[in-house]
């Protein structure tokens, strides 16, 4: 069929352009989307990732430019393939990119994470059913935390309308709301800085989700296979040097390891795809 022939030509052309760009040493675009566990100052986020980008550039043989994105901008970038490398902390968006947009999973932060519900001192909840009628501080709708919480409520037979939802932009703000008893519960990511500080102060995790695959790096389907493989090797080896290990620590990454795409696609199958995808 004519459309299949044209699509094949387009894919071949994209691959040739990618190889040419790599050969010419053109900058590689790395999209960074920290989601609700990140900072609001995009300049600070970009500076924080600069050492990691430099380590990737050294191994890839191409300079790396950093593009810090919101949830909405991340979805557009994935759809359009504007960046060859994507780093996202949002498991179901990674799963959607792998399942529906043909992105390749290159590496992930070691271990798993969970969505945790925190509560004021003295409050205990046995399950999400106990949250009916209570104030729950949640990040924006596209966040892993909110999507997973909605899936947990759905599975427990609880409608979101049965709770008093309090949309809150960042996890630090969610902690403040719970500590000040302005919220009866709040959502955090277990491996976020906010969650770790909450535990250090003696705070408990009232309810936990099932384990979720960790923060991940993805390659655009527009990137040539040889270039994607080179990037993957660079990411998996980055912790072997003291400089690389420090670059990972600067962005709250422990160690990058190979991961299973099926773990990510299982999450998007559970919680559903991004809105507007």
Q: Give the pLDDT band (50/70/90) at residue 24.
A: low
Average pLDDT over residues 221-227: 95
The more confident residue out of 67 and 276 is 67
Q: Give the pLDDT band (50/70/90) at residue 192.
A: confident
Q: Give the pLDDT band (50/70/90) at residue 21.
A: very low
Q: Give the pLDDT band (50/70/90) at residue 37.
A: low
Predicted structure pTM score: 0.87
Asked whether the predicted pLDDT for residue 162 surpasses 90, the reply is yes
Look at residue 42 in the predicted model and tell me its pLDDT. Answer: 84
Cβ contacts of residue 205 below 8 Å, gap of 6+?
116, 117, 118, 190, 195, 199
Q: Give the pLDDT band (50/70/90) at residue 104.
A: very high
Look at residue 121 in the predicted model and tell me its pLDDT. Answer: 87
Q: Give the pLDDT band (50/70/90) at residue 169.
A: confident
> Lowest mean pLDDT: which of 23-37, 39-53, 70-84, 202-216?
23-37
Average pLDDT over residues 141-154: 95
Asked whether the predicted pLDDT for residue 140 surpasses 70, the reply is yes
CA–CA separation, 152 and 167 (whole Å): 18
Give the orientation angle of helix 225-237 with respect to helix 42-60, to 10 degrees: 110
Look at residue 171 in the predicted model and tell me its pLDDT. Answer: 86
Query: For residues 135 and 185, is the Cβ–Cβ distance under 8 A?
Result: yes
Query: For residues 62 and 240, is the Cβ–Cβ distance under 8 A?
Result: no
CA–CA separation, 268 and 99 (whole Å): 9
- Hey, what are 37's tokens? 């566990």
**Burial category of 123 from C-beta neighbours within 10 Å (exposed 0-12, middle 13-18, buried 19 and up):** middle
DSSP-derived 3-state class of residue 240: helix
Rounded to 5 degrees, what are φ and ψ at 146? -65, -45
Asked whether the predicted pLDDT for residue 4 surpasses 80, the reply is no
Vertex 79 angle, CA 74 and 85, to 5°: 60
Cα 101 → chain centroid: 16
Query: For residues 40 and 170, is the Cβ–Cβ distance under 8 A?
Result: yes
| End-to-end C-alpha distance for the chain, whole angstroms | 27
CB atoms within 10 A of CB 43: 9
């Amino acid at each position: 069929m004519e459309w299949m022939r044209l699509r094949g030509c387009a894919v071949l052309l994209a691959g040739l352009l990618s190889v040419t760009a790599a050969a010419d040493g053109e900058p590689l675009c790395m999209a960074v989307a920290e989601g609700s566990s990140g900072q609001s100052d995009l300049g600070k986020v970009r500076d924080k990732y600069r050492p990691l980008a430099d380590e990737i550039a050294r191994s890839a043989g191409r300079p790396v430019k950093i593009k810090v994105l919101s949830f909405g901008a991340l979805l557009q970038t994935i759809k359009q393939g504007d960046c060859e490398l994507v780093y996202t902390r949002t498991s179901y968006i990674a799963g959607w990119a792998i399942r529906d947009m043909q992105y390749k999973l290159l590496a992930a932060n070691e271990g798993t994470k969970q969505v945790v519900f925190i509560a004021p001192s003295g409050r205990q909840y046995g399950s999400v059913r106990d949250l009916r009628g209570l104030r729950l501080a949640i990040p924006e709708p596209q966040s892993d935390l909110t999507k997973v919480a909605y899936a947990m409520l759905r599975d427990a037979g609880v409608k979101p309308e049965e709770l008093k939802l309090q949309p809150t932009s960042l996890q630090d703000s969610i902690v403040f709301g719970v500590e000040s008893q302005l919220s009866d519960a709040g959502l955090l990511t277990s491996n976020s800085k906010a969650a770790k500080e909450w535990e250090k102060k003696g705070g408990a995790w009232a309810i936990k989700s099932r384990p979720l695959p960790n923060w991940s790096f993805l390659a655009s389907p527009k990137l040539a296979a040889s270039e994607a493989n080179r990037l993957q090797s660079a990411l998996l080896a980055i912790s072997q040097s003291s400089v690389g290990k420090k670059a990972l620590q600067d962005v709250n990454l422990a160690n990058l390891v190979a991961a299973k795409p099926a773990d990510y696609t299982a999450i998007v199958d559970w919680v559903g795809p991004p809105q507007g995808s």
